[in-house]
Amino acid sequence: MARRDPLIFISEELTAEQHAAIAGIAPGARLVESSELASDPALVERIDICYSSLPPALWEKARNLSWVQLKWAGVETTLGLPQVMAHSAAITNVHIHGNAVCEHLWGMVLMLTRNLKGAVTAQAEQRWDESLRNGLATIAGRTLCIVGFGAIGASCATVGKALGMRVVGIRRHPAASASADLVVGPEKRLEVFAESRIIMVMLPDTEDTRAFIGREELAVMNGVFLLNAGRGRSIDTPALVDALHAGRVRGAGLDVTDPEPLPQGHPLWAMPNVIITPHYAGDHPGYDKEAFSFFLDNLGRWVRGEPLRNIVDRRSGY
């Protein structure tokens, strides 16, 4: 059944063009911002839709709320609120990070395998350091393991295949993929980790994924390059430090850490075989525009009474 005239709470400033785009899809929509809610608190009870986040204090009062469109993929902070879990509103996220994360992770891989981090340091110091020839690693003919084999993982797998790698994906519900040579379940991870040269981790933060790579998993690795662009808690950080010292992990590229931000003085900062970026692997030019376009598509679906895209499963946490 088609729906009309929603009250839409907008948590960020929109351009005139964006206002017009919403009006083109839902002509009778009324848009309210935070300042209006502050001056007229009763409006909260009439909100139908929210973009791009609803403050925690408003969830219990937003009794008419049917849908919240987030502008990011991670939902653990939102789902961590009891009032959110108790609410019936649909929550949708966006999956617009694939290309950027793929480029980011492969950039880290090549920095590590070709000693480019050391070369950049030597260049800054104006040193011609021929010792950088030592310790290079090759990846063609080796195994790439992607932990959390979804859309982003498939993009990374395509690059791995182009570089001549064998690709194995790990996901909760294994299914054959044209992007991978093999896809297995989490119970096979020790076997796959033992034969991998590169491991890329792209897991959400759920009870099942925390410390997914712990001491037992790190113990079977044999000189791997370990990359993480999912959530920091997927990897046991103290165990990772020990594995780096022992050489079981030859190098690490971390866009996320546990804790995050990584505190000053943490041993990972000083390791020459570790690259750390401050959780921006998925960012790219035009991100906000793409997220808003996704919201507009879902808004059209809401108005027409059609199923929304990317509904978050509260039970699974993503």
Q: How far separated are the first and last CA of the chain, in Å rounded? A: 27
Which domains, ranges and CATH numbers included, belong to the chain?
A: 7-96+285-304 (3.40.50.720), 98-276 (3.40.50.720)
Per-residue pLDDT of the chain (318 residues; tens, 9 = 90+): 567 799 999 999 999 999 999 999 999 999 999 999 989 999 999 999 999 999 999 999 999 999 999 999 999 999 999 999 999 999 999 999 999 999 999 999 999 999 999 999 999 999 999 999 999 999 999 999 999 999 999 999 999 999 999 999 999 999 999 999 999 999 999 999 999 999 999 999 999 999 999 999 999 999 999 999 999 999 999 999 999 999 999 999 999 999 999 999 999 999 999 999 999 999 999 999 999 999 999 999 999 999 999 999 998 899
172 catalytically annotated: no
Q: Which of 87, 104, 231, 250 is catalytic?
A: 231
103 catalytically annotated: no
Q: Which of 30, 279, 301, 309 is catalytic?
A: 279
Q: Provide the b/e sequence for 123-155 (b: ≥16 CB within 10 Å).
A: eeeeeeeeebeeeebebeebbbbbbbbbebbbb
315 catalytically annotated: no
Task: Tell me, rounded to whole angstroms, the distance of Cα 155 from its chain centroid.
Answer: 13
pTM: 0.93
Nearest partner of 98 among 150, 152, 179, 147, judged by Cα: 152
Structure confidence at residue 1 (pLDDT): 59
Structure confidence at residue 4 (pLDDT): 75
Q: Which of 30, 260, 266, 284 is catalytic?
A: 260
